[in-house]
Amino acid sequence: MRKTAGISIALFATTLFVANLAFAAPESDLHIPFEHYKLQNGMRVVLSRDTAVPVIALYVIYDVGARSEEKGRTGFAHLFEHMMFEGSANLKKGDHFKYVQSNGGTLNGSTHPDYTDYFETMPSNKLGLALWLESDRMRSLAITPENLKNQQEAVKQEKRLSFDNQAYNTAIIDTWPALTYSNFQSAHSLIGSYEDLEAASVDDVSKFFRTYYAPNNAVLVIAGDFETADAKKMVEQYFGNIPAQPQPKRPDMTEPVRTEGKMMTVTDQHARVPAVVMGWPAPTRHSPEFYALGMLDAVLTAGQSSRVQLDLVKGKQSILQFEANPGWPFASLNDYKDPAEYAAFALYKPNFKPQQIVDQIQEEIDRIAKEGVDQAELERVKAVLRFQKVTNLQSSLERAKVLGLFELMDGKPEMVDQDFTNLFAVTSAQIQAVAKKYLTAARHDVLVILPAPPKPPAEAKEGGK
């Protein structure tokens, strides 16, 4: 759960607010109130009121992400996300930005393997405006060749900025999924290839919109300062008559059972410090084993006194920085969706060999499998998790995101509290069991990312893997 780098693809880079969606935790000391219901067209609505600061967050999440992309259209879900800001029946290109910003709000959108989300945060008297903006594009997105062309360029530029020109990120977003997943849906690049991005047509955009951007495939969350009756009325007025569409099918994402792990080494021309990625296929979302894995991850990587920090960063002095998550690099406990992995990323010191780092991390897990975790350590980890929950849920937007994810994935916003209870019920024996069953040396895939030796400028452009 520790974050140092992480990967995200969003509409634009934010410089004002950095949101850390980590994960749900505490018990009685922080209860997030909500109510949820469904419109007649199938759109799910979650309301969570808190009037302390006169702001609201409107969060709309669609049940489609990069893992629903078809062959030849890698990167399309994200390209489509960009198109959502290009105008609709009553909004010209640029109007969405203008309305939100000139009314004192912020906005963004982001694409994930299994969902795509959009938000506006505004002074609370602008809730109606935010609802109108979201409803107009859900009802009537304007899809033109000019807008598509322009956003193809923006996305290609985003790919250059966030991936091609950065250390590690291309290996993480392109090489790692291809190494560790067998099924195209999970194995392909989420940012896409230039070729596929170029090939996207206006027809593709229209079809994707019709198929996935229907009210019955969406969840709308309002969090913050509003009057419930007002909010319900406006939601009905703006979204109630957007027609439902046939419920889209999720593609087959089945992965073959992994019998042995793979190891691969790539060189990265931008990296100066070596890194390893390790991953293991992980248990089903919200199963008892899933929560045991959540606690195991926290023991390994949460807080300042985690096993990796004390034993490897300090003790063996082999690791420089690390992060890990169920669902890494795109997800964490909240938005983990099957099939997925538990994966870790570590920058390590050049006086170690990659195999040593892999062995050291595996030894930490094996030791937990063998010896378990004592009560004092478990209590410490729980305190860290409680703290993280309270901290993360301070803003309306973070509350809206967590509630929206649990509604979308589970139909249960109450998981915002229940998840924590489930995590806390995990015993040392369950942690041992999940380590033994899932996180074994035989099952891990490994990607080693080594700095490329310096090249004379003439051949520098070849680079990459």
The reply to whether 246 sits near other proteins by the rule CB under 8 A is yes
Residue 6 makes contact with other proteins by CB under 8 A: no
How much of the chain is helix, strand and coil, in % rounded to 5? Answer: 45, 15, 40
Q: Are 171 and 268 in contact (CB under 8 A)?
A: yes
Q: Is the dihedral of CA 12, 169, 60, 57 positive or negative?
A: negative
CB 123 within 8 A of CB 58: no
The amino acid present at 274, given as its one-letter code, is P
Binding mask 94-123 for other proteins (x = CB under 8 A): x--xxxxxxxxxxx-------------xxx
**Can residue 414 be called a binding residue for other proteins (CB under 8 A)?**
no
Contact indicator for 140, 89 with CB cutoff of 8 Å: yes
Rounded to the nearest angstrom, the gap between the alpha carbon of residue 157 and the centroid of all alpha carbons in its chain is 21
Site for other proteins (CB under 8 A): which residue of 13, 18, 229, 257?
13
| 78-97: contacts with other proteins (CB under 8 A) | 85, 89-90, 93-94, 97
Closest CA to 312 of 280, 343, 358: 358
**Is 394 among the residues that bind other proteins (CB under 8 A)?**
yes
Of the candidate residues 35, 250, 284, 390, the single one contacting other proteins (CB under 8 A): 390
Q: Which is nearer to other proteins, 29 or 260 (CB)?
A: 29
Q: Site for other proteins (CB under 8 A): which residue of 7, 70, 125, 178?
A: 125
CB of 204 within 8 A of CB of 30? no
Decide whether 158 or 289 has the Cβ nearer to other proteins: 158
Among 6, 42, 288, 339, interactor with other proteins by CB under 8 A:
42
Q: How far is it, in rounded angstroms, from Cα 150 to Cα 143?
A: 12
Residue with Cβ nearer other proteins (54 or 411): 54
Contact between 160 and other proteins (CB under 8 A)?
yes
Interacting span for other proteins (CB under 8 A) from 204-212, 364-372, 377-385, 408-416:
377-385
Of 131-139, 278-286, 354-362, 420-428: span binding other proteins (CB under 8 A):
131-139
| 353 interacts with other proteins by CB under 8 A | no
Tell me the C-alpha distance between 106 and 131, whole Å. 14
Q: Does 355 bind other proteins (CB under 8 A)?
A: no
> Among 183-191, 231-239, 338-346, 431-439, which window interacts with other proteins (CB under 8 A)?
231-239
For every residue of 263-306, DSSP letters joined together read EEEEEETT-SS-EEEEEEE-PPTTSHHHHHHHHHHHHHHSSSS-
Rounded Cα–Cα distance for residues 439 and 358 (Å): 12
Task: Indicate the residue among 140 and 287 with the shorter CB distance to other proteins.
Answer: 140
User: Measured between alpha carbons, how far is 338 from 198 in angstroms, rounded to an integer?
Assistant: 30
Pick between residue 237 and residue 265 the one whose CB is nearest to other proteins. Answer: 237
Whether the CB-CB separation of 294 and 333 falls below 8 Å is answered with yes
Of 256 and 456, the one with the shorter C-beta distance to other proteins is: 456
Nearest distance, CB of residue 335 and other proteins, angstroms: 21
Binding-residue pattern over the window 288 to 307 for other proteins, x denoting contact by CB under 8 A:
--------------xxxx--
